[in-house]
Structure 1
């Protein structure tokens, strides 16, 4: 599953796996790779990693909680970083 609000990432992903969407992309940089007369296109790998419908339904529900889960992860990271660097002389790289 790809979730992004960056148009550049979306267009790159389309070029990798959705050849039929290339003519509809906004960026001329990616549209230039569409040539219906050619059998093979150098940039399009044709990846078709389709998510199973049940997995998509589960992910859709779980994504509603992602902000809270990320807050907990950041809080845990801060706690561990503080404890490890203060008590054991470990240097944090994060």
Structure 2
């Protein structure tokens, strides 16, 4: 299944100069949620960005486009193929 991932490089530039607690407040999320999204995918404590994170970021930075800061880890074409062949999870 495709997951929404954070473009860490873009996010770092976007939030440059802000402390984690300032970023979390601006996005209306907890600092723990921010910390978990920033963890590497292989870390069991990692969380992909959820609805609150995504909505908070897009509201806090209205000039940012969704596709600038987020991406799918699996291309949609591959996802369609999984569904048509029945190889989904």
Shorter chain as denominator, the TM-score bin is under 0.3
| Larger Rg belongs to | 1
| Larger helix percent | 1
RCO higher in structure (CA 8 A, sep ≥6): 2
Superposition TM-score, scaled by structure 1 size: 0.25
